[in-house]
């Protein structure tokens, strides 16, 4: 089996999710040793009352919020997300979801969460991409935390406009009312962990969370890979 693993490595070498350099056998994670050192991991990923959490106050019944790293567009921290979304690497989302869950398991973050709900893509975008990166992250989180992932409770009717074209306040206006709960019984009365790849203003997550919270007894926590907002 070791031989087969070596052979697989030869044809499908593991590469660093930031710089793309081939990983050595000693580099067991997703990043090479050099990128790992400078990568802006959020330490710790969950801080009660963090700036990330406060972005959702007053918009949905948020309980907790966590991010694996600080996201800066155009920097090293953007590379894994770009690969995840545009280079057909859903495996990166899954692995980073697992990484985040392992860190959160050392806290009470998952304590009363019932179900994980990835923010859906509009059908056309998911068809074009072939997968929803948020589902990949959610599955990684769910496998490590031992929680179910519910992908069919909520639908997205339209996608956000491209993030490069609109200022933050424009985006916030454009995501209202784009989500619809289609399986209310799958979410009613639950504490939902809502998952997305990156939170910038948080408007997309808040729009989805507010729609879920129209069901009775719903509470929402948030987990993202990248926190692109202000200071924590």
| Chain residues in the site for Zn ion (CB under 5 A) | 16, 18-19, 32, 35
Q: How far apart are CA 139 and CA 130, in angstroms?
A: 16
Ramachandran area for residue 177 (φ above 0: left; ψ -120 to 50: alpha; else beta) = left
Least distance between Zn ion and beta carbon 229 (Å): 25
Query: CA-based angle 114:116:122, to the nearest 5?
Result: 145
Q: Per the structure block, which two tokens stand in for 31?
A: 């990043």
Least distance between Zn ion and beta carbon 91 (Å): 17
Q: Of the candidates 174, 176, 187, which has an alpha carbon nearest to the alpha carbon of residue 214? A: 187
Q: Of the candidates 186, 112, 125, 115, which has an alpha carbon nearest to the alpha carbon of residue 154? A: 186
Residue number, 35 or 175, with CB nearest to Zn ion: 35
Residue number, 27 or 114, with CB nearest to Zn ion: 27
Least distance between Zn ion and beta carbon 21 (Å): 5
Residue number, 16 or 195, with CB nearest to Zn ion: 16
Residue number, 92 or 121, with CB nearest to Zn ion: 92
CB 222 within 8 Å of CB 56? yes
Residue number, 16 or 199, with CB nearest to Zn ion: 16
Least distance between Zn ion and beta carbon 82 (Å): 14
Least distance between Zn ion and beta carbon 22 (Å): 10
Q: Where are the alpha helices (DSSP H) in 55-159?
A: 79-86, 90-104, 123-129, 133-145
């Amino acid at each position: 089996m070791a031989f087969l693993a070596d052979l697989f490595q030869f044809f499908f070498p593991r590469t660093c999710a930031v710089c793309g350099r081939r990983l050595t056998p000693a580099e067991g994670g997703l990043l090479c040793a050099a990128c790992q050192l400078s990568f802006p991991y959020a330490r710790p990923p969950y801080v009660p009352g963090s700036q990330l959490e406060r972005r959702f106050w007053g918009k949905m019944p948020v309980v907790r919020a966590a991010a694996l790293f600080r996201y800066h567009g155009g920097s090293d921290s953007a590379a894994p997300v770009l690969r995840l979304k545009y280079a057909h690497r859903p495996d990166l989302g899954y692995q980073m979801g697992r990484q985040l869950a392992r860190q959160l398991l050392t806290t009470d973050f998952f304590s009363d969460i019932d179900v994980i709900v990835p923010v859906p893509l509009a059908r056309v975008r998911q068809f074009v991409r072939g997968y929803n990166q948020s589902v990949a992250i959610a599955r990684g989180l769910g496998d490590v935390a031992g929680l179910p992932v519910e992908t069919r409770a909520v639908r997205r009717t339209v996608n956000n406009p491209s993030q490069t074209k609109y200022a933050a306040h424009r985006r916030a206006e454009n995501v209202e009312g784009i989500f619809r709960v289609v399986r209310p019984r799958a979410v009613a009365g639950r504490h939902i962990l809502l998952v997305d790849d990156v939170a910038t203003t948080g408007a997309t997550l808040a729009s989805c969370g507010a729609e879920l919270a129209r069901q009775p007894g719903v509470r929402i926590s948030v987990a993202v890979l990248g926190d692109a907002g202000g200071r924590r």
